[in-house]
Amino acid sequence: MEDQAVLPPDADILYFAYGSCLHHASLSASLGLEVGPRFLGPARLSGYRLRFSDASVTEAVCFATIPPEPGAQTEGGLFRKRCIYPMFQ
């Protein structure tokens, strides 16, 4: 097994948000913290395309995903976060 860097629990990380995670109130509610002050600005992720291909089984919506696609770009937003929530560890 290769050595892997492990972030300390209070490390700052950059989080690329897309789809519904760009809605500050929704993301704040999901994470249990106010994300507005952590928003760094718009961002573009090269090599990935935004897709709405995963249907919900409980609602008439699709979930956003960003699968790799050479030459594609996905627009989103960049946030600075503390690595305290499981999705960021």
Q: How far apart are CA 85 and CA 59, in angstroms?
A: 26
Per-residue pLDDT, 26: 82
Cα dist from 61 to 24, 53, 74, whole Å = 19, 10, 20
Whether 3 is covered by a domain: the verdict is no
Per-residue pLDDT, 74: 96
Whether 1 is covered by a domain: the verdict is no
Residue 40's CATH number: 3.10.490.10
Domain count, the chain: 1
Which is it for the CA torsion 49, 87, 36, 59, positive or negative? positive
Per-residue pLDDT, 7: 67
Query: What range does the domain containing 49 cover?
Result: 12-82
Whether 45 is covered by a domain: the verdict is yes
Q: How far apart are CA 7 and CA 5, in angstroms?
A: 7
Per-residue pLDDT, 19: 85
Whether 4 is covered by a domain: the verdict is no
Nearest CA to 39 out of 14, 19, 64 is that of 14
This prediction's pTM: 0.70
Whether 37 is covered by a domain: the verdict is yes
Chunked in runs of 10, what are the mean pLDDT values of the chain (89 residues)? Answer: 62 85 83 80 96 80 89 94 57
